[in-house]
Structure 1
Amino acid sequence: MKHIIYFAAALIMVGCASNQKTTLSGLDKNDFDTIVNNQKISLFTLHNGDMEVCVTNYGGRIVSLMVPDKDGRPRDVVLGHDNIRDYLEIDGNFGAIIGRYGNRINRGRFTLDSIVYQLPQNNYGHCLHGGPIGFHHSIWSATQTTDTTLVLTLHSTDGDAGFPGNLNVEVVYSLTSDCGLKIAYTAYTNKPTIINLTNHSYFNLSGDHTKEITDELLTIKASGFTPIDSTFMPTGEIRSVKGTIFDFNHMHAIGENINADDEQIINGMGYDHNFVLDKSCPFAAQLYDTVSGIVMTVSTDQPGLQFYSGNFLDGQVCGKNGIAYPKRSALCLETQHYPDSPNHLDWPSVRLNPGEKYHTETVYSFSIR
């Protein structure tokens, strides 16, 4: 793709090679020190007790996330790459901040105050994740304020990828005292615009990234979901999960119905759907791996959660430790507003006006069962 070639051509590696592993997850920070377009890319390490999170300011990507298993052994529970060159040359969203609009917008078109805006059409004729060169390919300014906190900022100009308004964005990654990763998103604009930020980490709580996640147990506290057509676009319906294979209100194995002869499963090639969260529940989702004993609880103030079961992973992308990630070797739980919300005015609004503050928080907390 054009942006991958462009980045690769502009890549200037700095520093010298080193075999010294400088993080708990085995990452060498020298493998991430790079300058692209006169902007420095680095790897930042957050740690708090037994928990370690490594983040690169290229796309604000979570590269590794180490938490202890039931035997106290640290496990890396996210997919990614172990060097910056792979992130630059391989198109993917591993661990990235997604914006300006996470998920899909129908035909890449929406209307705001009677003005029609056209966005890039990079997925089945729709705009996905803000277009092919979204926030996941931006180089964020980074400041590590403490051992547990990283502040990322980005200025997106008016007309960037077709979106209106200058947008100033801040994303703060911080580790909590109870083994949690908190992500706080804040943004301001100078003219009416739309915004829907999320994180695209791929989780596998076994720590074995050659293994499918179909045996992991999942709960999603949702009363409904938004059905999709064969191009992954919501139809506009909000359908009850009751009595369907989309009911995860009680924990069960992800693989139980993932290959069912069901129109929605066929359209999504598995699960790739937005769930309408029950806001009366103190958490949005919970994932449990019975072998490692690791439990991940997702809490958020967002109205939706995209559950993606890694259907497009195909063994062609080589990740950390030389592992070629097979199909469904990880899943995503992306907290968000609903896909295509700008074209469904009866859904929770994604509009941001001048003088308003966009702010949302999500916490991924880890424990042992």
Structure 2
Amino acid sequence: MADVTIIGQIDGRDIKAATLFGPGGLRVVLLTYGARLAELWVPDRDGSLADIVLGHDDLQDWRTQGGYLGATCGRYSNRIADGRFVLDGRAIKVDQNEGNQHLHGGRDGFDRKLWTIDSHSAQHVTFAAASPDGEMGYPGAVTMRTTYRIDAAGGLVIEMTAKTNTATVINMVNHAYFNLAGQGAGDVMGQLLSVCAGFYLPVDDRLIPTGEVRPVTGTAFDFRALRPIGALLPGPGGFDHNLCLSAPVAADGLRPCLQALDPVSGRRITMSTTEPGVQLYTGAHFDATPGKAGQRYARFAGFAVETQRFPDSPNNPHFPSARLAPGETYRHVMRFDFCPAPR
């Protein structure tokens, strides 16, 4: 079975950490608070382990520091313009928690829920939670699950599912921040990234998509070949944009998404997903943020790659739909493989 321990309490309820172990020293630590990925220990090309996801030492920092580190986010992750949309002819208003915009499910989204452990084994943990009708303004009572598992090949699979009793919209994401040199090891601007995306979504000054879908050719968003993340930035804030995935879906139902590589350590991840887009965010908000092992995270301390339905899809009918109806199951899968690059 997974190693499960109590690490503290929130609102009088125990918060648990569950640890999974994989080949080559792979270790995954998960929290019931926000069904989140708290630690991910991966070997470099010489077998030395480092924790490659950002997080906190103190349980209260998980609650107060923001940034959604490692969390399962929803009900609708990313942004909805003005916190408003129309669903089946009904005007819906959801929580406005980023200026006038809705972000990552609102101020009490899935990231702040105290999830329960529904099942666990040596190779998986499944978290469960519920979102009542009207929570943060959303229609429909939703039940959801997030499963983390280490598969037979030593990859990490994250699977998020949901069901509803009334038509709603849903877009659950995992919001881990990666630094392949190890959390707290400086910025990620020199780490290499390639993304299987031929188009991107331009945004306005609120970071809301304009509705256009543009080719990446000749722009800072062209990651079709492996290149340093910081080699070409779209502005001083770095990246916080959706890239539209273009690789075909494979027989396992997943499409290739990206490759990321730290050229110094050789740590490398490849990622595939069921979703049509990936939000690349380079962590511009970090500012001496308390991290793990006494580290402080500065600007660009990690990059997030959130596979997803497109931001503001409920207001853009030409974007992939996020509507979930009764009797349907929402299912979002991300798969990470770890294969160090040779020297």
- Matching residue of 1:184: 159
- Matching residue of 2:7: 33
After superposition, the C-alpha distances for 1:329-365 in whole angstroms (9 at most, x for unaligned) are 1000000000000001111100000111111211111
> What one-letter code is carried by the residue in structure 2 that aligns with 1:39?
R
The runs of 4+ residues in structure 1 deviating greater than 6 Å are: none
Find out whether 1:106 has 2:81 as its counterpart: yes
CA–CA distance in structure 2, aligned partners of residues 208 and 52 of structure 1: 14
SS in 1 for 2:217: coil
Indicate conservation of the 8 Å contact 1:182/1:364, yes or no: yes
Q: Which of residues 205, 215, 218 is equivalent to 2:193? A: 218
CA–CA distance in structure 1, aligned partners of residues 247 and 83 of structure 2: 29
Q: CA deviation at 1:127?
A: 0.1
- Matching residue of 2:297: 325
SS in 2 for 1:249: coil
Q: CA deviation at 1:242?
A: 1.3
- Matching residue of 1:44: 18
Q: Which of residues 65, 74, 77 is equivalent to 2:49? A: 74
- Matching residue of 2:237: 269
> What one-letter code is carried by the residue in structure 2 that aligns with 1:274?
N
Q: CA deviation at 1:101?
A: 0.6
Q: Which has the higher helix share?
A: 1
Structure 1: unaligned runs, 5 residues or longer: 1-22, 24-28, 259-264
Indicate conservation of the 8 Å contact 1:109/1:119, yes or no: yes
Q: CA deviation at 1:125?
A: 1.3
CA–CA distance in structure 2, aligned partners of residues 347 and 68 of structure 1: 38
Q: Which of residues 119, 123, 127 is equivalent to 1:152? A: 127
Indicate conservation of the 8 Å contact 1:44/1:144, yes or no: no
- Matching residue of 1:368: 340
Indicate conservation of the 8 Å contact 1:210/1:324, yes or no: no
- Matching residue of 1:171: 146
Find out whether 1:345 has 2:317 as its counterpart: yes
SS in 1 for 2:147: strand
SS in 1 for 2:296: coil
Q: CA deviation at 1:310?
A: 1.1
Indicate conservation of the 8 Å contact 1:276/1:303, yes or no: yes
How large is the RMSD of aligned CA atoms in angstroms? 1.5
- Matching residue of 2:112: 137
Indicate conservation of the 8 Å contact 1:48/1:177, yes or no: no
TM-score (norm 1): 0.87
TM-score (norm 2): 0.94
Q: Which has the higher strand share?
A: 2
CA–CA distance in structure 1, aligned partners of residues 242 and 67 of structure 2: 20
- Matching residue of 2:252: none
Q: Which of residues 161, 167, 186 is equivalent to 2:136? A: 161
CA–CA distance in structure 2, aligned partners of residues 151 and 322 of structure 1: 30
In the alignment of these two chains, the number of paired residues is 333
CA–CA distance in structure 1, aligned partners of residues 216 and 276 of structure 2: 16
